[in-house]
Structure 1
Amino acid sequence: MPRFTDVAGTYLREQVVAGEGFDEGVPDTTTMWHRVALEHTDEPGRWDDVVPVGEAMPFPAHTPFFQCMTTGEPVLVPRVSEEMGHAVASQFEKRDIRPLITGRSMLVVPLKARHAVLGFMILLRHPERQVFNDMDRVTGAELAARAGLVLDNARMYTYQENVAETLQDSMLPHIPPRMAGCDIATRYLPGTLLGRVGGDWFDAVKLPGARTAFVVGDVMGHGLNSAAMMGQLRTAVQTMAALDLPPAQLLRNLDDLAQRLGDTYLATCLYGVYDPIASELCLANAGHIPPVLVRAADGRSELLDLPTGAPIGVGGVPFEAVRVPVEPGDRLVMCTDGLVEVRGEDIGVGLATLCESAAHPAASMDDACDTIIRALNTRGGRKDDVALLMARLGGIEPDDVAEWRIAPEPSETGRARAVVREQLYEWGLPKLVDSAELMVSELVTNAVQHSHTRPVALRLVRGDTLLCEVEDDDHELPTLLNARSTDESGRGLRVVSTLARSGAPAGRRPARASGSS
């Protein structure tokens, strides 16, 4: 404009505007088209109210627009007649578009790429100008072809970005900010805008005994393959953590799994288990950078000295676990090397900055994470993804834990009910007594039947929920059974499971139970 045309409007498929995929077949009368642009040489405001940008509408079969969309070829109308103007205007409710188009020369050209029609352009000339001819048709088609290719590239890029972000979001867990005895905050930063999918991950897994497992890992490389490998390893860690494997044994099994998956990828992984009752961390490392522990007593931060170990996937190497005593209020910081490593700089500089920024006072866990990110992310040269997990280790007060040893005798079940009832009254939880008594009765009965020589351990933990835990020395894990109507047993654990999931009525502290061996 204005040399070639006096009015130019662009319409795109609804899915193209949204960056979504669509059936690349021939459009029909139900296909919605968004008006995304309109320019003209008429007096200001003449078109704005009648054909506003952003409007979406379908087009009927008798219009030249529908003909252009279905054939994929330009449509030339030397002069828009009164009849055609009326047919086009029928789409515009309570707006008369006829004065704007009648008598003008019109050229409709498709915006297409890879045999798919993405949209079309409407070109109009004033009545006093020469009408569009066949050469103009070729010129308009060439302009539209170039625009269509650019639009399709943008559409494919947007679609791939959406797929990448969806994949990454689905693989990164949504960790609750509060778990038993600890508060958690996390951050994930992509390495580059063009590589939002990577192999970095973090996780926090609930374990028996009010414990929590913390995981940070990094699959070497970038892209969808690394993300897929990351997803497999993260799922494996979740599964093995649920089996309560010790940290060193878990990494050993993860290394074996990586060997079976193939020798293409390596990964580093740091796995730790926090016991808020024993106030202890148990950590094992597979080639990962060490974690930082910030002491609450004096605000001092330190890199924990762990056996480094070899990365996951090397195969045939041992892993060692280290136990670290902690105090309530201490903070554990675990991250991937993308946060501390910069090309051309010794990694020790980044680790020192990590320790310094982790020790900086902060009003909240989120603020503490942001402080670390600001301190380390301002340095130039970072190209790798970043996964950061911080946990404030709050612990569980001894007064909130009650433990007993029960002799493996059927008659001891009554004693278990009695001590639980007495403890709950002492804690001021009388409304949970009935449910807790029934759960403990079933769990202790089950444990007594399967224990061998050691006494049965019974523990209550009072926190955000009430945890009822029973432990025996049988090597088989308890399993839910489908008891038939004629069976005399097999329903106890199902009763426990139902009661534990249902919790307590609204306004009461909920109850949970778990059994382990």
Structure 2
Amino acid sequence: MQRQGSQVPTELSVPASGDGLVTDVLAALSASGAVGDVLQGCAEAVVRRLDAAFARIWVLNEADQVLELRASAGLYTHLDGGHSRVPVGELKIGRIARDARPHLTNDVVNDPQVSDPVWAQREGMVAFAGYPLLVGRRVVGVVGLFARHVLAAESLSMLAEVAAAIAAAIERIRVQERLRAEHAVLVALHRVGVALTSAQFDLRQMVQTVTDAATELSGAAFGAFFYTAVADSGESSVLYTVSGASRDDFAAFGLPLDSPLFQSTLSGRGVVRLDDVTTDPRYGQASPYHGMPPGHLSVRSYLAVPVMGRDGVALGGLFFGHSEPGVFTDEAELAVSAIAQHAAMAIENARLYQRERDVALTLQRSLLPDHLPELATVALAARYLPAAEQAEVGGDWYDALVLPDGRLGLSVGDVVGHDIHAAATMGQLRSALRACMLQRFDAPEVVECLEQFMTATGLKEFTTLAYAVFDSHDRSLQVVRAGHPPPLLLGADGSARYLHGGATPPLGLGLIELDALNTASITVTLEPGTTVLFFTDGLVERRRWTLDQGMTALIAAVGTVEPGDPEALCEAVLAALHGHGHDDTVLLAMTVR
């Protein structure tokens, strides 16, 4: 046996056969690909140029202090078996790594470091050379070869040079892999952030986004997000999403909430990362299965990260599994923990939004009429729906009131803004409008009265209004619009057209005068079976639509409904157009009997 710094005895030396070895190895190291593929090219070059029986390269797993076989060429090409994972300090390969010194011999059969001399003699092995792969003084792996001939000093010198090049390449590849992994984490976190922003306040969509991203980033075979949901009644329940598997894979087993492992995470006691969950003392403690139920997806590697709220209370937990042991790394744990922080903020924001939205909706609905007049001459229907994409409630309203002279006043309005202030302003204007309706009977006078109220009280919120008065005696409808979309007139024969007249500037700008209102107002006569549909702009406005496209879509939607039923009309219109808008929507429909 020879040590580093010594020479191989001359009587054992033979001429070097390694011409081109360094060149071939450098060529293999310059190739692109995974570290295993690159090292395989190096091992094949060693076998080819040094006429070795076989050559192998191990890379050190620093966390486990184990040498992992990454390349094997020549007589043996498999990467499994007894030498696939060699602990540092065990066998000659492990001792080379421990001592950071080469092991060289041209008498394999009689070398006490060779663990199986019978095999060596049977296979005709003569020489062995093993070099630590060093970056400075740090070991990153081992390269070793067996040969059926004596290895010359020049061959060993070239092998030492090659070992240095392989070590530098392993370090370079590791740095590149770390950079790629870090970049992947940053990209995934950015993707999660963007997705959570896009999902806004849809809790189910958010937790699914988090589960998918964390499962992919951790390298898990499958993952799940268990989280607490609170119903309107105040009762809480545990829900879950899955990724990398079907919900059907877990449906038969129930929720493992009593498992000590699950409780450790759901109670917020910290991250649990296990190379083999079946060896943990907490495993198998929960009934009725006391371990993995029959038919459950195989789990050896286990990672669980709590999702913690600002108050230190767990909102849920992210759980990941893999059928192979030792899959989850420090980097995976850090990445999932970062995603869990994103998830916690998003969940808390969604819950805060929902509470505030419920308050605003309650306020707004309390300001709208709780019922519509029931009349023999007309049928009325109305709807109010908040925006699908807004965190706040707007200032849309509708109203219908029988006037002192027996006519019917109809109003649909919209105060600009999406907050409680807009809803409160709407309440003021609706009440003021009712007072004006009871004092002045013609539509232009009522709208002028409301403008005067806003001026007198200092209300300057931009407000649109469609106000109409229907007289059942002659079936006349007088309409005035202050910056509001035109109502849609639906004939008993299924025809549809907009009442485009009657337009003036919006309220709140100080631009409305009675003469202009009188000039702009229009009056039409409605035949029995005719329906008039008033609406706010949230029904027909979309980010990717022009207003004309929205108005055309409304015409198409009403064409699917039998004429004469205002309730069915409202339902069909909302089904066709509501749900993708960014504004509140109000409908008020009147059908002449």
Question: Would you tell me which structure has more helix in proportion to its own residues?
Answer: 2
SS at match of 1:14: strand
Give, in angstroms, the shift of residue 223 of structure 1. Answer: 5.8
Q: Give percent identity, aligned residues only.
A: 23
Report the equivalent of 2:229: 14
In 2 relative to 1, CA 141–239 (structure 1 residues): closer, same or farther, beyond 3 Å? Answer: farther
> Which structure 1 residue ranges, 5 or more long, are not aligned?
23-29, 395-517
Shift of 1:297: 11
Distance 1:245 1:13 in 2: 55
Between Structure 1 and Structure 2, how many residues are aligned?
362
What is the match of residue 429 of structure 2? 233
**TM-score between the two structures when normalised by the length of structure 2:** 0.45
- SS of corresponding position for 1:96: coil
The 8 Å contact of residues 306 and 340 in structure 2, kept in 1 or not, is answered as: no
1:375-390 matches, within 5 Å, as 387-390=586-589
In structure 1, how many angstroms separate the alpha carbons of the residues matched to 2:505 and 2:341?
51
Q: Displacement, 1:110?
A: 0.7
Residue pair 2:410, 2:469 contacting (<8 A) in 1 also? yes
Q: Deviation digits for residues 310-369 of structure 1, max 9, x if unmatched?
A: 432234843356694746515444344566789999989998999999899943334995
Question: 1:217-262: per-residue Cα shift (whole Å, max 9, x none)?
Answer: 2324556654443344234434654x45434554344324434664
Distance 2:550 2:263 in 1: 61
Unaligned runs of 5+ in 2: 1-214
The match for 1:96 among 278, 289, 292 is 289
Indicate conservation of the 8 Å contact 1:180/1:210, yes or no: no
Q: Contact between 2:540 and 2:551, CA under 8 Å: does it hold in 1?
A: yes
Offset from partner CA, 1:93-125 (integer Å, 9 cap, x none): xx3142559996754321235455221134456
The correspondence for 2:513, drawn from 318, 321, 324, is 318
Residue 143 of structure 1, CA deviation: 0.7
> Of residues 120, 130, 137 in structure 1, which corresponds to 2:317?
120
Distance 1:197 1:107 in 2: 41
Which stretch of structure 1 is more off in the superposition, 320-329 or 296-305? 296-305
**Secondary structure at the counterpart of residue 120 of structure 1:** strand
- Alpha carbons of 1:240 and 1:86: their partners in 2 closer, same or farther (altered >3 Å)? farther
CA distance in 2, matches of 1:284, 1:347: 20
Distance 1:345 1:152 in 2: 33
Q: Kindly tell me: are residues 163 and 97 of structure 1, through their superposed partners in 2, closer, same or farther at Cα, counting changes over 3 Å?
A: farther
Query: What are the equivalent positions in structure 2 for 1:45-56 lying under 5 Å apart?
Result: 49-51=252-254, 55=255
SS in 1 for 2:335: helix
1:135-183 CA-to-partner distances (Å, cap 9, x unmatched) read 64x7425313314414642663576378658846726656659534212
The residue aligned with 1:156 is 349
1:215 shift after superposition: 0.4
Q: Residue type of the partner of 1:108?
A: A
Contact 2:392/2:420, CA 8 A, preserved across alignment: no
Are the structure 2 counterparts of residues 391 and 152 from structure 1 closer, same or farther at C-alpha, using a change threshold of 3 Å?
Answer: same
CA RMSD of aligned residues (A): 5.7
2:476/2:525 contact within 8 Å kept: yes
Is the 8 Å Cα contact of residues 381 and 567 (structure 2) preserved in structure 1? no
The whole-number CA distance in structure 2 between the counterparts of 1:331 and 1:45 is 49
Superposition deviation, residue 11 in structure 1: 1.6
Which deviations, in whole Å up to 9, do the C-alpha atoms of 1:384-412 show, x marking residues without a partner?
Answer: 76644332233xxxxxxxxxxxxxxxxxx
CA distance 1:99–1:335, shift in 2 (3 Å) = closer
Change in Cα spacing, 1:117 to 1:184, as seen in structure 2 (3 Å) is same
267, 271, 276: which is aligned to 1:74? Answer: 271
What secondary structure is seen at the aligned counterpart in 2 of 1:144? Answer: helix
CA distance in 1, matches of 2:299, 2:541: 68
Give the one of 355, 362, 365 matched to 2:565.
Answer: 365
**What displacement does 1:286 show?**
3.5
1:274 aligns to 2:470 (yes or no): yes
Q: How does 1:38-437 map to 2 (within 5 A)?
A: 49-51=252-254, 55=255, 59=258, 63-75=260-272, 84-85=282-283, 87=285, 89-90=286-287, 95-99=288-292, 106-112=302-308, 114=310, 117-123=314-320, 129-130=325-326, 136=330, 139-150=332-343, 152-153=345-346, 156-157=349-350, 160=353, 164=357, 167=360, 170=365, 176=372, 179-186=375-382, 193-194=389-390, 197-208=393-404, 211-221=407-417, 225-238=421-434, 241=437, 243=438, 245-246=440-441, 247-259=443-455, 262-277=458-473, 279-289=475-485, 291=487, 303=499, 306=502, 308-315=503-510, 317-319=512-514, 320=517, 324=523, 326=525, 329=528, 330-336=530-536, 362-366=562-566, 369=569, 387-394=586-593
CA distance 1:259–1:66, shift in 2 (3 Å): farther
**TM superposition score normalised by structure 1:** 0.51
Task: Please state how far the C-alpha of 1:372 moved relative to its aligned partner.
Answer: 11
